[in-house]
Amino acid sequence: MSSNVEKSRSKANLAKFIIPSIIGIILFMVPIKYDGQFTIPIKVVSDYISSLINSVLPQMCVIIISISAIGSIIATIFKPKFMMNNQMLKDLFYLKPVWLIVRVIGMVLAIMVVSGIGPEHILSGATGTFILNDLLTVLVIIFVFAGLLLPLLLDFGLLEYIGTLLVKIMRPIFKLPGRSAVDCITSWLGDGTLGVMLTAKQYKDGYYSKREAAVIATTFSAVSITFCLVVIETVNMTNMFVPFYLSICVIGFVIAVIVPRIPPLSLKKDEYYNDAEKPDESIPSGHSTFSWALEKALIKSSSSKGTKQFIINGSKNALDMWLGVLPTVMAIGTIILVIAEYTPVFSILGKPFIPLLELLKLPEPDIASTCMLVGFGDMLTPAIIGSRITSELTRFVIAVVSVTQLIYMSEVGSLIISSKLPVKLWELFIIFIERTIISLVIATMIGRFILHLI
């Protein structure tokens, strides 16, 4: 330990901590106004690149998904030595049977959409075509830049520094490590997918337990401020954006305190990936919080292996997301949206909410009930349905609830399922319902108070 401390105190190592960390903070955590909306630089860069090659992105996604599925068939069924003896190829392609099936389904659906051959409920602009052309074409570029550049946040001591500083806040309130605050900030300012990627990487690196990773992914991987604006515009209440967003912040905080303390999240064990040891968060005698935070950051940065390893780690991150997540989102996202658009399943499931809506005295409870669970498929769908409601209060509540529900299978939910995070699909649905009920009650009270003031 003493040699690590001495090594960490050099000026070169201090620069090695500060410079990459500042670049990472600027790229992932500093909000900027671009094209009339607030976002983060990494999203601006990815959107710009997307605009340059937009016409070929759907085909690019289909090729990646096909490579993922075909490679997985070869590795999982035939187990050739060149794949089994290469740890990277084995990690990317050797799967449990259920995930092999998911990747193959994703490939079939992607080929159907890009070729225009198949039933309307798959090719519809609200289902398969939406997933491939509107969602995956965005994710495929985000994954490249986020995958390559996430090591700026992960590998040079920033999380060790922030984690040590914030542990006294995050532990008692949320029962989480201090470093999880970075996941939250990245999600809120940038994109929920970035938060999931960051959480999954830290879980696999042994920094989060099963419980912590599950809580962070389902609680703090929030949608961006930009998407919140899209939701409030959809229900025609842009003039209410400030109280709308403040309501989301308040409800998000309350849910983050309550939901991790009840099943299924409370039943998750504090076990670590590959039996890693629990990280020590205690502060040694002779150190203040700030001095120990800096010491841990410098020790971490001193272990970084230079530019070559930085590029290798980033490339592995990007490939893992490309080959693992894209086919899963294509498969699960399309299936859930088909159920939402072409079957009465979510409308029927929403019927039990009518008594609660009536108890809360929300106008137009019948239409509002159909919005309650359809958000499990896609976050924007409740706002689209809710835009037909005449009551301002009900529209406001639906807009707030649709954002604070957080888990939607067309993006964040599928990412969680496919990223080796310890959360099952049925658990996601239970957490979604818990978030919905809590959000609905609080949003109604806040909405009634705000509209009364106005």
- Per-residue pLDDT for 108 more than 90? yes
- Per-residue pLDDT for 22 more than 80? yes
If you average pLDDT over residues 176-183, what whole number do you get?
Answer: 85
**Residue 173 and residue 257 in contact, taking contact as beta carbons nearer than 8 Å:** yes
**Residue 145 and residue 45 in contact, taking contact as beta carbons nearer than 8 Å:** yes
If you average pLDDT over residues 402-427, what whole number do you get?
Answer: 88
Question: What pLDDT is recorded for position 190?
Answer: 59
Question: What pLDDT is recorded for position 224?
Answer: 67
Question: What pLDDT is recorded for position 10?
Answer: 75
The CA distance from 368 to 351, in Å, is 10
- Per-residue pLDDT for 198 more than 80? yes
Question: What pLDDT is recorded for position 93?
Answer: 95
Backbone angles phi, psi at 420, to 5 degrees: 70, 10
Q: Which of 258, 272, 263 shows the shortest CA–CA distance to 219? A: 258
Q: What is the DSSP string of 114-162?
A: HHT-S-HHHHSTTTHHIIIIIIIHHHHHHHHHHHHHTHHHHSSSHHHHH
Max mean pLDDT range (47-51, 326-330, 400-404):
400-404
If you average pLDDT over residues 267-294, what whole number do you get?
Answer: 87
Tokens of 297: 């950051």
- Per-residue pLDDT for 4 more than 60? no
Tokens of 183: 């996941």
Backbone angles phi, psi at 292, to 5 degrees: -70, -35
Average pLDDT, the chain: 88
- Per-residue pLDDT for 8 more than 80? no
Is the peptide bond preceding residue 264 cis, with omega within 30 degrees of 0? yes
- Per-residue pLDDT for 115 more than 90? yes
Q: pLDDT band at 28, cuts 50/70/90?
A: confident
% of the chain with per-residue pLDDT over 70: 96
The CA distance from 10 to 381, in Å, is 54
Q: pLDDT band at 6, cuts 50/70/90?
A: low
Max mean pLDDT range (1-5, 10-14, 114-118, 193-197):
114-118
Q: Which residues contact 156 (CB under 8 A, 6 or more apart)?
A: 16, 17, 20, 21, 24, 297, 300, 301, 304
Least confident of 94-98, 198-202, 310-314: 310-314
If you average pLDDT over residues 318-332, what whole number do you get?
Answer: 89
% of the chain with per-residue pLDDT over 90: 45
Tokens of 233: 């515009």
The rounded Cα 434 to chain-centroid distance in angstroms is 18
Tokens of 131: 């997933």
Per-residue pLDDT reduced to its tens digit, 378-396? 787 888 888 889 999 999 9
Per-residue pLDDT reduced to its tens digit, 218-265? 988 777 676 787 788 889 898 888 899 889 989 999 999 999 999 999
Query: Percent helix, strand, coil in the chain (nearest 5)?
Result: 75, 0, 25
Q: Which residue has the higher pLDDT, 28 or 431?
A: 431
Q: Strand, helix or coil at 387?
A: coil
Q: pLDDT band at 21, cuts 50/70/90?
A: very high
If you average pLDDT over residues 261-286, what whole number do you get?
Answer: 88
Q: Which residues contact 362 (CB under 8 A, 6 or more apart)?
A: 368, 391, 393, 394, 397, 444
- Per-residue pLDDT for 158 more than 90? no
Question: What pLDDT is recorded for position 189?
Answer: 61
Question: What pLDDT is recorded for position 103?
Answer: 95
Question: What pLDDT is recorded for position 257?
Answer: 93
Residue 351 is classified by DSSP as: T
The CA distance from 52 to 195, in Å, is 26
- Per-residue pLDDT for 153 more than 60? yes
Question: What pLDDT is recorded for position 191?
Answer: 65
Q: Which residues contact 274 (CB under 8 A, 6 or more apart)?
A: 206
- Per-residue pLDDT for 448 more than 90? yes
Question: What pLDDT is recorded for position 239?
Answer: 83
- Per-residue pLDDT for 178 more than 90? no
Tokens of 448: 């009634």
The CA distance from 139 to 412, in Å, is 11
